[in-house]
Structure 1
Amino acid sequence: MKLYKIKEMSTVEMEKKLEELEKELNLLVFRHKNRQLDKVMKLREVKRDIARLKTFIHQAKEE
């Protein structure tokens, strides 16, 4: 997910997207452990997107 897309989102949208990504991460981890995941880099991308969203949510709450 690109930064400009995150910056355009409201806090509520960010929280919804965060929930979606956390569910996706759980599914990817499960598939990775069962050796069903072809693109392991997807795990890294989702983890980084979660971290970015958490950072922006935290910054928005401080303001």
Structure 2
Amino acid sequence: MKIFQVRELPPQELEKRIKDEEENLVHLKFQKATSQLENPMKIRNARRDIARMKTVLRERQAQSAKSEKKS
């Protein structure tokens, strides 16, 4: 998922997708441990997608905290 796609999502959707992606990552790691994972890059991509989503969520929280502080 590209960063511009992540930025378009509302916060509730981001939290839902983070949770889904973390569950997917657990399954991918389990497949790797049992030698059933065909493409190990899926683990890397899942981790990076989670990081992107968490970064955008954190940016939004910081922005709202900053705007509350000014008011």
Same fold (TM over 0.5): yes
- The normalised TM-score by structure 2 is 0.86
Q: Distance in 2 between matches of 1:12 and 1:61?
A: 13
Q: TM-score, normalised by structure 1?
A: 0.96
Question: How do 1:20-59 and structure 2 match up within 5 A?
Answer: 20-59=20-59
* Percent identity of paired positions between Structure 1 and Structure 2: 35
- What is the distance in 2 between the residues matched to 1:31 and 1:13? 27
> Structure 1 counterpart of 2:50, which letter?
I
What is the deviation of 1:2?
0.8
Task: Output the CA distance in 1 between the equivalents of 2:54 and 2:8.
Answer: 15
Task: State the superposition RMSD in angstroms.
Answer: 0.6
Q: Residue 58 of structure 1: CA displacement?
A: 0.6
The gaps in structure 1 that reach 5 residues or longer are none
How far apart in 1 are the matches of 2:51 and 2:35?
Answer: 25
How many residue pairs match? The answer is 63
Q: Structure 2, unaligned stretches of length 5 or more?
A: 64-71
Structure 1 consecutive aligned stretches of length 4 or more whose deviation exceeds 6 Å: none
